[in-house]
Amino acid sequence: FFLIQELLRVMRTIDDRIVHELNTTIPTASFVGKIDAGQTCKELYQSLMDAHTSRERIIKNCIAQTSSVVKTLREEREKAQDDVALLKQLRKEQTKLKLMQSELNVEEVVNDRSWKVL
């Protein structure tokens, strides 16, 4: 999970720097004729959209995989209720699932903030 969090942190760089990107993208009055602000903003919009889509896909994929593992462990737990190691593994995977689901909520907040700034 921590590797996934680190990957998401790196992928969120564009969102963290959105104000800086806008300041460097939109030309000042002296550079208006030299840079196509509309095209530059369109490119920034597209890169932001791509980043959001890929991060959401990664998070949802991880949630789906972890949900599958939790389901399998629950089924095994039903068969062997006295297995303490299995219970520990189930709890660990459930915790990881909850963390990933909360990461999806964080992603939503980050995306909303970036779109408001843009």
Highest mean pLDDT among 22-31, 43-52, 65-74: 65-74
Mean pLDDT, to the nearest integer, of 67-81? Answer: 92
Residue type present at position 40: T
Q: Confidence class of residue 27 from pLDDT cuts 50, 70 and 90?
A: low
- Sequential DSSP letters for 50-108: HHHHHHHHHHHHHHHHHHHHHHHHHHHHHH-TT-HHHHHHHHHHHHHHHHHHHHHHHHH
Residue spans of the domains in the chain: they are 1-117
Mean residue pLDDT across the chain? 84
pLDDT at 92: 94
- What would the mean pLDDT of 5-25 be, rounded to a whole number? 76
Query: pLDDT band for position 113 (50/70/90)?
Result: confident
Percent of the chain with pLDDT over 90: 35
Residue carrying structure tokens 């550079």: 31
